[in-house]
Structures are given as structure tokens and as C-alpha cells.
Chain A
Amino acid sequence: MTLRQLFSTLRGHVAIIICLPLCCALVAYGVASVIPKHYKVQRVVEVPISQDNPDFDRNAAAKLTYVGNGERARNVLHNLIEEIPVDDYVIEVQAPPKSNVLTIGVSGMNEAEATAIADTLAQYIYTYATHTLLKMNVEVIDEGPDTETIVTPKPPMYAIEFAVFGLLVAVTIATFRSRSCRTSP
């Protein structure tokens, strides 16, 4: 069957071509809205770059990623926020190459707890930078409960993905039905 023949087959099955993608989209949207969400809270720490010694400052930022990922940072989190099960959360501190910006990412099933962990870790890194590395003007960006959280799964995204899947299934069903109509006496 060529593409043109395929389209002519589909012309006779407009109802299923429209209805099935819509149904799939609605079901996917519903399921994605109901199932437990996964939250990712991000905080950014910026280490200022001085004119005199920029490489030294970037190295300080690199060192802070290791501090944030280290065992000591974990212990601090355990001690400061005892009521939150820190080990249930994925905590990552990363920085792009030659960058002075650190990204703290905390993922888990509870948004409030993830936010608390991210803020506490950001404060710990800030304190380490100012007191141990003696860096001035270090800044924690986007701190606080009002900042945007990445939530997955995203119901609209799932609706679109499964609408396309529904369309493909509808095309397959239409092809199957047209073949069986043609072969029946």
C-alpha cells in the first residue's frame, strides 16, 4: 500500500481517526493527573568572579560542587532537618565547566520537604564559601517557597503523546478494517 492508498483508506474512517486520539489524550491526562507526582526543586548559588584572579574563583566554584555532594553536607542536612528523611531524596550539586554558577537539585515525592532540603543545602554552601573559602558577595538565587518546582509527570505532555499514539492505533485499525472489508465476500 502506498501513502496515497493509505490516505484514501483513512477517508472512510474519519470517526475513529478523530475519536480514538481524543479518548487516548483524555485517559492519559486523567491518569497523569492522579498518579503520585515527582518534584524537583532547584536552587542556584553564584560565586562572584573577580577581575584579578578569575581562574581562582572558578576553582572555588568547582570545589563547592564537591563540598555540596560530599558526606559532610549530608551529615549537616541530617542534623539540621531531623524530621525529614533526607536519604529518600536525590540531591545533586552540579556546575557547568568554567562556570561560577552551582545548581542544587533535590528530587523526591514531597515538594515541601524537597524545598527545605534545597534551601538548607544552599545555605550550607553559602556559609562554607563565605567562612571557609572567605569568598565575599556569594549569592543564593531563587531561594524561598515561591520559586518554580519541576513536577513530573506533566499531564498536558502525556495528553499530546498519547493523542499521537491514539492516532497511530486508529490508522492501524482503519487499515485492518478496510482489508477485512475487502476480503469478505
Chain B
Amino acid sequence: MGLKARVNTVHSRLSHLSPGDITACEFLFLVSFAIWMVFQLLETALIGDIISVHLMQVVRFSCIALLFISELLGGRYDRRTLVWLCLAWLFCIGMINSGQMYLIDWILFSFCARNVRMDKILQVAFWVSSIVCVGIILCSLIGLIPNVLWMAGDRPRYLLGFTYMLFPSMIAFNVTCIVVLLKQDRFSLVHALCLLVANLAIYLATDSRLSFYLAIAIIVLGLMGSQRKRQSLASASILLSRMVHAPITRIVAYAAFPVCALVMLLLTIMYSPDNAIMQALNSILGQRLELGNSVFHGYGLTLFGQEITQTGSALGADGTVTSMGSYNYIDSLYVKLFIQVGIVPAIIFIAGFTWLSIWAYNERKWYLLAMLLILALRLTIDDLSFFLRYNILLLYLSMPLACRHDMPNEDRGEGV
């Protein structure tokens, strides 16, 4: 047997290795994703120097190597995949130029996720996020790691073992999204109650309002969607059916991301402390317009990104302040993308999510569409959704490339 034939045989055998119903390609992706998630989440905990920068690099590159092998085994390429890659690289250029190369990981995961069934990824993400988050919180409650009390004016906020008070609430919000996407029509009152209790407990400790309110919105939408077949919430289900079939839903699905981005960017650029309306809006948005405007005037806009030193208020892994200087953190992801990552990558990012929303609408994936619309709103005042550890929807960006028609109906979200 020639070398070429042997390679063919090995490749074919490896591709069809299936422990249970998982192929080798899927298995490698899921292992890589699970390890990556664990370390990414632990990095945000107050665990001192246990996870060094060097160890993080080793883990990251090992996971990327596993992804590469997974891609070799199961990767399929067509024109759309290659166009996707070209645009993704343009986005990566913005990340490299802005000094955020570590964020390229999620683009790699998103690209390779097209070879894996999304329900399997969601299951892994659910278990990893839940176990690590609960573990960190328990460790902080029993005193193994510090549970820092942060006083923001008259708002006492516990960090629950994390380096910033928004991290646990973001994980809880992400888990809520995962559960609703995973269960879809099987999302029950018990699921809703468990999620509500978890989100409420974290909200009471951290006082993270945005994540809590949006999590409640998702739970309510999940319940309304799942109950429509059971007829137990008749009026709500009729209302929901009318909503999804109304022409306005189509317009919202097509325009949510561009409109939100444009509005936030214009408000930031046009902000003036002399304007009373702008000042009131700035106050409602927690000084975000003023901070964004100041960074915009300092650095301006570029096509492919620039490095901006941002000083926030998160703590280091040892519980100390990470850097001292004047606070200039941009919270709105849209504004951050345009100013820091560049105009071209920002447009690609917004176009990518718009494409995903249109696809979700056309494929009648209502749960996914609801999450995307909530995400479009969230990105106006929050940038944590730019991290894969807090936002599973980033993995969906390559989903339209690999729409699997063999998926069960509930997984495809059909039938509203």
C-alpha cells in the first residue's frame, strides 16, 4: 500500500471514530473548548498566581493545536467558508493592531464550531460555566479565596471571588442563554425557577442590574416560547405568535445591530456637556457617553485599529488594583470597536451579527433571534459580550455556513 493510500485510510478511520455519537472532529473540538473555557473562567477569579501568564499561553496554544487537528479531520470548505475566512482575517487585523491578539481565540473557535453540532457545544459550555462559577463562588463564601466588598457610592457590591463584580452575573446570564437555547420547546417552569434563583442570588450580591434584567427577559421569553405548545399560557403564546409573524419583527431582525451601533456611535461622537438632553442621557448611561467622547477626541478613528491604553476598575488575580491612572474605559462595545479595533473590523462584526439575525429569522430560529436582539441592545452599554467565556452567541457566527438539515426540529427551532 502506498503512502498516499495509507494516509487516506488513517484519515478516513479517524474521521469516523465515534465514541457514542461524537465523531473524532467533534470530540477534539469539545475537549479543546472545555479546557479553554475552564482556564478562561479561572483567570477571572481571585486565585493569585496559580494560573500564570506562561501557563495560560501553553493552554491557549495547546487548545489551538487541538482545534487545528479537529479542522484537519472534519473541515469542509466551500466558497462561503472562504469568504467568511477572508472577512474574519480582516477582523483579526483590527484585533492585532489594537493589541488584543488574545481575542482571536474566539474567532478560531467560531470557525471550527461549524463542524460540530451546536447542542453538544451548548452542553459542554453549560457544565463548564456552571461548575467553575459555582466552584469559585463557594470557595469565596467559605473563605478559600477573598470575597471582596466593593463600595460604589452607596451600592455595596460583593465580587464573590472574581476580579470584577460583573463577571459572575455575566456567567449567570450566559448560562441562562445556554439553557434556553439548549432546551428550547422543552424549557420548563422548573428550569425557569432554577435560573431565576441563580440570577437573583448573584444580583443581590453583586448588584449587576443589566445582566439580571436581561436574564429575566430571556427566562420570560423562553417560558412564553415553550408554553405555546402546551397551551398553559394561552394569551402569552398568542401574543408571541403574533409578534414573531408581524412585519416589524423582520425589520427589527434586519436592522437591530446596525441601528444600535449607529445610534450609540453618533451619541458618543456628538456628546456635549452643554446640551441638557445629552447630559441627562449621559447620566442614565453611567457617564459612558462622556468617557467614549473623551477617548474619541484623544485617539480618533482608524481603518484597522490602534492601541489604546485603557484603565478600568477590575482587580488583579491577587486582589490588588491592576493599574493606577485616570479611568478611561469604554463600556459600549460598538464604540470600542469603532475607536479601538477600527472601522473596517467594526463593520464586519456588525455585518456578521446582522447576517446571523437574518439567517435566524429566515430559518425560524426564534429563540436564537430573541437572544440576538437582546445582545444587540446589550452591546450598546457593555463590552463583556466580546469574550467567548461570557457570550456563547459568538460561536453561532459560523452556523449559517453549516446549516445541518439532519438536526431535530426542536434543535432547529422550527414551528412557532
**Chain A residues near B (Cβ < 8 Å):** 1-3, 6, 38, 62, 65-66, 69, 89-90, 92-98, 105, 107, 152-153, 157-158, 161-162, 164-165, 168-169, 171-172, 175-176, 179
Contact = CB atoms under 8 A, between A and B. Distances in A.
A179 B81 CA distance: 14
A175 B77 contact: yes
Nearest to A66: B324
Interface stretch (B272-280, B305-313, B346-354): B305-313
B86 A1 contact: no
A179 B82 CA distance: 13
Contacts of A3: 71-72, 75, 77
A62 B324 contact: yes
B323 A175 contact: no
Nearest to B71: A3
A162 B76 CA distance: 25
Contacts of A164: 89
B154 interface: no
Nearest to B85: A168
B306 A38 contact: yes
A161 to B, nearest CB: 5
Contacts of A65: 324-325
A132 B205 CA distance: 42
B323 A94 contact: yes
Interface residues of B, number: 34
A104 B191 CA distance: 52
Nearest to B93: A161
Given A38-B306, A172-B83, A175-B77, A94 B325 contact: yes
A77 B347 CA distance: 38
Nearest to A162: B93
Given A95-B323, A105-B309, A172-B83, A1 B78 contact: yes
Given A90-B298, A94-B323, A152 B82 contact: no
B97 A153 contact: yes
B201 to A, nearest CB: 30
15 contacts: A1-B76, A65-B325, A92-B311, A94-B325, A95-B323, A95-B325, A97-B318, A97-B322, A98-B320, A105-B309, A157-B97, A161-B93, A168-B85, A172-B82, A176-B79
B299 A90 contact: yes
Interface in B316-369: 316, 318, 320-326, 328
Contacts of A96: 322-323
Given A92-B325, A171-B82, 8 more contacts: A1-B78, A3-B72, A65-B325, A94-B324, A95-B323, A162-B93, A164-B89, A172-B86
A165 B323 CA distance: 36
A93 B326 CA distance: 8
A66 B78 CA distance: 55
| Interface-centre pick from B302, B318, B324 (highest chain A CB count, 10 A) | B324
B316 A97 contact: yes
A176 B78 CA distance: 9
B76 A2 contact: yes
A137 B220 CA distance: 64
Contacts of A171: 82
B326 A69 contact: yes
Contact of B311 (A94, A152, A157): A94
Given A1-B78, A3-B72, A38-B306, A168 B325 contact: no
